[in-house]
Amino acid sequence: MKKIPMMLQLAVILFCIMAIPTAILTWYSGAQIIENSEAAIGESALAGLNANRKLNENALANLAQDTARLAAANVFEPIRGFETYNEVNSSYSNYTKAKSVMNELLNLNRRVDGVSSSYFYLTDSDYVISTDNAITTLERYEPMSWTTEALKDQRGISGVWVPRRLASGEHVVSYVYPLNRLSSPTSGLIVVNMKESQVGKYLNTAEAEGSSSLLLGADGKVISHSDKSLLLTEGFELPFVQEILNQASDEGYTFRELDGNRMVYAWSRSALSGWWNVSWSSMDELMAESREMQSNIILLTGAIIVLGTVLAVVLATWLSRPLRQLVSNIRSKSGLEIASRNRNELAFLDMAFKRMQEEEEGLFRLLQEREEDTRSFAVHRLLRGEIPPRIAEVFPEANYRVAVVSIDRYRVYVGNTNVETRSYHRYLLNTKYESLFPEGIVAHSVYHTDGCIVIVLNFASGEDECSNILIQQALESIRDESLELLEHTVTIAVSEVADAPEMVAERLLEAMELIKQRIIKGAGSIMYWQEEEEHSRKYLDSENSERRILNFLDAGDLDGIFNELENIRSQISTEQHISYDNIMFIYHQLIGTTIKHLRENHISTGRTVMGKGDIYSVLAAMDTLDELENYLQALFREIIQNLDRGTGETNHGERVIQYLKDHYKEEIVLKDMSTEFGISYSYMRKIVYELTGKSMIDYLNQLRIDKAKELLLDTDLTIKQVAAEVGYYNVQSFNRFFRKYEGMPPSSYKTAKSKGS
């Protein structure tokens, strides 16, 4: 973008401002047209399906009502007594009565379109009165067993609708209406067969061209379908039908993909019969008009974008002219021509302004660094006892105090951080410390030694008490802020007040000396220098404790040593005026006495004491008495463990070797042997190797071979007998090991030694 001319960029921007919203609006409007069209088609499909359902329900309801009225008209009363076909044909009068029933059934068929046939069956009779076969016997008509199954769950006086296939192959929906005492004095059945094709006409009356419909029973059987081969099959197996009808709603519509075509499915359930009406249509055919409208909108949008592009270029050229002239003037009058030859106008101006800003910021940083360096240098000189020139500019007030902030457990802090992190911490702490002191107290901080930052405080005279309170509050903030940043506590030591700059170096020594009192006061303390009289200092000697510790060491009494170490710490803690040097002398003397005692008793100190490096430097780096005591406890624990380990290893080794010498003839399981001695197998191998220089297997075989050599030379035993005598239960193993250790088989060894003697 930096190499594209501004005019072209501006043209692109204007084009995007006009074209992108137009394209988005076109896409959105087209999508809305499609979406709304789909919704309208779905609603229309559902409305048509409901209209067809109601038409079908009305036709079937009218047929059911006509059947009920026929049953209530007592037309079957005259033939109630005719139980057999022969009785009906026994006289003309009887036949006429039956004939009148058939005529009523024919009238019933004519009232509703699409009725295929109907018949009446008198309970327990052997004949049927029908509209297709007149009066005939049951043997010549269809069986009646299906009606029993159809009426199994029927309640009340209403009939039931049953989809079925006649013996002729025609599919019908039969209405079975039982006659009983509630509806007629005659007991029997009226069956009216409505053609499935007529039901299909009702279902497709309001459907659009290309639509298909389906009628399912409550049990999922297909009642009506355009594909007659699917009638009376399982309708839930048809595509999407199971998924659609499992939804909570009794009616609705949805869209699905079928064989690459987008289809709209509508469904509606009859509240009267529980039947499902389902229709489906191809959206590609129904949406043809909407898609044509969408294409026209896209073409119109394309034309608008082309015109907008031309307009954008014209506007960009006109708007960028002043800026291009400005850039041309700057390039001709500055030295940026070569560096910015391939840049556009905005990039050129940005580069020019950035260069000016960088030069200004560099100058400001240089001045600031010079000022900070001058101030830090003045503080360092003041701490060395030198009086820098123009000191009043850095420290304008009369009184001084020196505060030393020392990081507790500095060795741990160094181990957890790298050099860069520590340098960054120093920078942050120096900046933060100076900002924590209130107005009226000038504070300048510098890094002094490992883990120590020195803060030189400068404040007006005559405000000592007020200044002390403010300084205390600032130091508490320093302690909290340092803990949060370093995740380590800090100890702060504050010197006495100095009323002249040349006394600052002396006050630094006071604060550094005071820091050593952390060993008694504990980490995280804020301490102020108090001048002590010489006679108030007390010197402590731990000679008695040293003697008792050595006695406990000889006895292996670790608890006794710990008690004496605790006594030393308690004695130091209760003495108010003990010096730091005295404390360190006590612990250095204890370490030295212990090392001397171990060497006098010919006990190696290389692994326990000298292996820890300069132990005196480690002690000097510790901050508190608790750290010193914990370190010495660990040291004496390791010494006693090493003493116990050395004695135990020697005893175990001698026992193992003696056992091997006594039992080398036997079959020895080494792991069982280690269990018997109460030590691990690996430890047993280690101590045997240290005592013999051989592995246990080699040592055991060497014992056997040495005894075998004696038997070969001093007895007349055969090779096999010698092998068994020394613990080998086959000659092959004996020969192999003998050759390994002696370089020849047993027979050759015996021959060679016999000749030599």
The per-residue pLDDT for 256 is 83
CA distance 36 to 42: 10
Contact call for residues 691 and 719 (beta carbons, < 8 A) = no
CA dihedral 118, 124, 126, 129 (to 10 degrees): -20
Of 529 and 19, more confident = 529
Across 93-102, average pLDDT: 89
**Cβ pair 406, 418 in contact under 8 A:** no
Q: Tell me: pLDDT of 430 over 80.
A: yes
Element (H, E) at 222: strand 222-225
Predicted confidence (pLDDT) at residue 137 exceeds the cutoff of 70: yes
In this predicted model, what pLDDT tens digit does every residue of 58-76 receive, in sequence order? 888 888 888 888 888 888 8
**What is the band of 404 on the pLDDT scale with cuts at 50, 70, 90?**
very high
Q: Which among 108, 104, 107 is positioned nearest to 78, based on CA atoms?
A: 104
The neighbouring-strand residues paired with 263 are 256, 282
Question: How distant, in Å, are the alpha carbons of 508, 519, 757 from that of 583?
Answer: 22, 9, 78
* Cα distances (Å, whole numbers) of residue 574 to 175, 528, 538: 112, 19, 12
For residues 680 and 210, what is the distance between their CA atoms, to the nearest angstrom?
A: 90
d(CA 321, CA 5): 12
More confident residue, 18 or 85: 85
DSSP H or E run through 412: helix 410-416
**What are the strands, taking DSSP E only, across 249-338?**
251-258, 261-269, 276-282
Output the DSSP codes for 580-608. Answer: HHHHHHHHHHHHHHHHHHHHHTT---TTT
Lowest average pLDDT, out of 201-215, 242-256, 385-399, goes to: 201-215
Domain residue spans of the chain: 73-199, 395-531
Burial of 105 (0-12, 13-18, 19+ CB in 10 A): buried
Q: In this model, does residue 364 exceed pLDDT 70? A: no
CATH code assigned to 73-199: 3.30.450
382-398: b (≥16 Cβ within 10 Å) or e: bbeeeebeebeebbebe
Question: In sequence order, which ranges of 73-193 are alpha helices (DSSP H)?
Answer: 85-88, 92-111, 145-150
CB 497 within 8 A of CB 399: yes
Residues of 144-155 as b/e, b for ≥16 C-beta within 10 angstroms? eeebeebbeeee
The C-alpha atoms of residue 506 and residue 382 are separated, in whole angstroms, by 10
Alpha-carbon torsion (383, 384, 385, 386), positive or negative: negative
Own/partner pairs, 504-510, CB within 8 angstroms, 24+ separation: 504/382, 504/383, 504/385, 504/400, 504/402, 504/456, 505/382, 505/383, 505/384, 505/385, 507/400, 507/401, 507/402, 508/383, 508/402, 508/404, 508/454, 510/402
At CB < 8 A and 24+ separation, what contacts does 748-753 make?
749/709, 749/712, 750/712, 750/713, 753/712, 753/713
pLDDT for 1 equals 47
Q: What DSSP state is assigned to residue 498?
A: B
Residue 627 has a pLDDT of: 81
- How much is the pLDDT for 534? 45
DSSP 512-574: HHHHTTHHHH-TT-EEE-----GGG------HHHHHHHHHHHHHT-HHHHHHHHHHHHHHHHH
Residues 90, 184: Cα–Cα separation, whole Å: 25
Question: 675-715, pLDDT tens digit by residue?
Answer: 877 788 888 888 888 777 788 888 889 999 999 998 988 88
Q: Give the DSSP letter of residue 438.
A: P
Angle between helices 625-663 and 558-574 (to 10 degrees): 170
CATH homologous superfamily of 395-531: Reverse transcriptase/Diguanylate cyclase domain (3.30.70.270)
Q: Whole-number mean pLDDT of the chain?
A: 80
Instruction: Write down the pLDDT at residue 492.
Output: 92
* Nearest by Cα to 56 from 270, 262, 279: 270
Task: State the burial class of residue 240 (Cβ atoms within 10 Å of its Cβ: 0-12, 13-18, 19+).
Answer: middle
Name the residue with tokens 């400001």: 364
CA 475 to CA 437: how far, in whole Å?
A: 8
Indicate if the pLDDT at residue 235 is higher than 50.
yes
Indicate whether 610 pLDDT > 60. Answer: no
Would you state the torsion angle of the CA atoms of residues 686, 687, 689, 692, taken in this order, to the nearest 10 degrees?
180
pLDDT of residue 338: 43
pLDDT above 90: percentage of residues in the chain: 7
Residues 674 and 680 sit within 8 Å (Cβ to Cβ): yes
Tell me what pLDDT residue 118 has.
Answer: 93
Report the pLDDT averaged over residues 619-636: 81
Lowest mean pLDDT among 49-53, 223-227, 647-651: 647-651
User: Does the pLDDT at position 622 exceed 60?
Assistant: yes
Least confident of 453-457, 503-507, 613-617: 613-617
Q: Is residue 524 left, alpha or beta, with left meaning phi > 0 and alpha meaning psi from -120 to 50?
A: left
Q: What is the rounded CA–CA span in Å between residue 376 and residue 427?
A: 13
Q: Are 424 and 486 in contact (CB under 8 A)?
A: no
Averaged pLDDT, 134-154: 85
pLDDT band at 535 (very low <50, low <70, confident <90, very high): very low
pLDDT over 60 at 136, yes or no: yes
Q: Angle 466-468-474 (CA atoms, 0-180°, nearest 5)?
A: 105
3-state helix, strand, coil in the chain (%, to 5): 60, 15, 25
Model confidence at 756, in pLDDT bands (50, 70, 90)? low
Q: Looking at residues 470-479, what average pLDDT do you find?
A: 89
Residue with the bigger pLDDT between 73 and 351: it is: 73
**Would the pLDDT of 449 be above 90?**
no
d(CA 258, CA 261): 5
* H or E, element range at 458: strand 452-459
SS3 labels along 382-401: HHCCCCCCCHHHHCCCCEEE
Q: What is the pLDDT of residues 147-156, one digit of tens each?
A: 888 888 777 7
Can you tell me the mean pLDDT for 280-284? 77
Average pLDDT over residues 248-271: 83
| Local confidence band at 191 (pLDDT 50, 70, 90 cut-offs) | very high
| C-alpha dihedral sign at 250, 254, 259, 262 | positive
Amino acid at 219: D
The residue type found at 614 is D
Q: Which of 424, 436, 628 is nearest to 522 (CA)?
A: 628
Q: Up-side HSE of residue 612: CA atoms within 13 Å toward CB?
A: 17
User: Angle at which helices 696-714 and 681-692 pack, to 10 degrees?
Assistant: 60
Task: Return the closest-CA partner of residue 554 out of 594, 590, 581.
Answer: 594
More confident site: 579 or 292 = 579
